[in-house]
């Protein structure tokens, strides 16, 4: 044997991979932003319940607010930077950032809404927020006031609505007749909603009187139509209106 013996390489411990949602959280804590992805993608159906994305909110408000100062809608995203504090009237209020893949916006909650929202309001929680939107005091930005907040797990228990992804420039009369024929061949219990994208953004349209079953999905796929069943937020809104004596419906 020589002066130096060949050393064996140390055996590294087997470490399970970090779940992507946890890795993204660590990425955000270290860098202040998500770089390699967004956790919202891992909560199936959550983004689809939103009336608009955060990036589209200002344009959507401008289009919908003719003749009224305040509109109601649904936003979806991850909760960030939660802060609670007392109000001058002796109650409590909360402020937090709601972030989706397109941006982030401040949301406030107070009064009875604070009591409903506060138990669910936690950092990094995936949520849908029923909110009213109106111009802020400065008139230069929008103020988002939460009326209620639902965790992703709660949305999973909702009835489902079939949502079709359609491009505005592809909606010829012939195409619409083809779609109607496919849908009529699969009657069921799920409502139908159209998410139509065009140059000015996207719009959500509820197809009244049309209800389908899951058997239509393969037919729509063969026809090249993006379709999926997503939580029906209108069920939550109806429950909130009943609880508070009737409120304005979300403009789907």
Contact 77, 54 (CB under 8 A): yes
How far is Cα 135 from Cα 205, in angstroms, rounded to an integer?
Answer: 25
Q: How far apart are CA 127 and CA 121, in angstroms?
A: 9
Contact assessment for residue 146 and residue 109, using Cβ atoms and an 8 Å cutoff: yes
What dihedral do alpha carbons 134, 139, 142, 147 form, nearest 10°? -30
* C-alpha span between 47 and 74 (Å, rounded): 10
Strand partners, 207: 192
Q: Where are the domains of the chain?
A: 39-156, 160-231
- Per-residue pLDDT for the chain (252 aa), expressed as one digit of tens each? 555 566 666 776 766 777 666 777 776 767 666 667 677 888 888 888 888 899 999 988 988 877 788 888 899 999 999 999 999 888 999 999 999 999 999 999 999 999 999 999 999 999 999 999 999 887 788 999 999 999 998 887 788 888 888 888 877 888 888 888 989 999 999 888 888 877 766 666 777 788 999 889 999 998 888 888 888 877 666 666 666 654 433 332
The answer to whether the CB of 77 falls within 8 A of the CB of 48 is no
Q: Helix (H, G, I), strand (E, B), or coil: what is residue 244?
A: coil
Whole-angstrom CA distances from 248 to 136, 147, 208, 240 are 21, 12, 18, 10
Sign of CA dihedral 12, 16, 17, 23: negative
Residue 226 · residue 151 · CB < 8 Å:
no
Does domain 39-156 fall under CATH 3.10.310.70? My reply is: no
Buried b (16+ CB within 10 A) or exposed e, 107-136: bbbbeebbebbbeebeebbbbbbbbbbeee
- For every residue of 172-185, DSSP letters joined together read -HHHHHHHHHHHHT
Q: What one-character-per-residue DSSP string does 94-117 give?
A: EEEEEEETTEEEEEEEEHHHHHHH
**DSSP single-letter state for residue 92:** E
Dump pLDDT digits (tens) for 214-236.
Answer: 889 999 998 888 888 888 877 66
Compute CA 38 distance to the chain's CA centroid, rounded to the nearest angstrom. 13
Q: For 142-192, what is each residue's pLDDT tens digit?
A: 999 999 999 998 887 788 888 888 888 877 888 888 888 989 999 999 888
């Amino acid at each position: 044997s020589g002066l130096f013996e060949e050393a064996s390489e140390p055996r590294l411990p087997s470490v399970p991979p970090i779940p992507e949602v946890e890795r993204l959280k660590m990425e955000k804590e270290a860098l202040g932003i998500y770089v390699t992805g967004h956790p919202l993608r891992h909560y199936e159906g959550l983004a689809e319940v939103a009336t608009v994305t955060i990036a589209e909110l200002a344009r959507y408000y401008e289009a919908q607010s003719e003749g009224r100062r305040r509109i109601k809608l649904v936003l979806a995203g991850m909760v960030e930077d939660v802060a609670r504090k007392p109000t001058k009237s002796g109650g409590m209020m909360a402020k937090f950032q709601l972030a989706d893949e397109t941006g982030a916006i401040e949301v406030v909650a107070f009064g009875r809404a604070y009591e409903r929202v506060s138990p669910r309001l936690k950092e990094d929680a995936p949520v849908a927020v029923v909110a009213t939107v109106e111009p802020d005091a400065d008139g230069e930005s929008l103020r988002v006031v939460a009326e209620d907040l639902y965790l992703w797990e709660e949305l999973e228990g909702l009835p489902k609505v079939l949502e079709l992804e359609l491009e505005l420039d592809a909606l010829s009369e012939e195409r619409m007749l083809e779609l109607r024929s496919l849908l009529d061949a699969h009657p069921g219990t799920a409502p139908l909603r159209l998410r139509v994208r065009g140059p000015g953004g996207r719009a959500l349209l509820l197809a009244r009187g049309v209800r389908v079953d899951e058997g239509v999905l393969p037919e729509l796929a063969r026809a090249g139509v993006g379709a999926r069943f997503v939580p029906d937020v209108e069920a939550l809104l109806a429950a909130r209106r009943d609880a508070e004596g009737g409120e304005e419906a979300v403009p789907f």
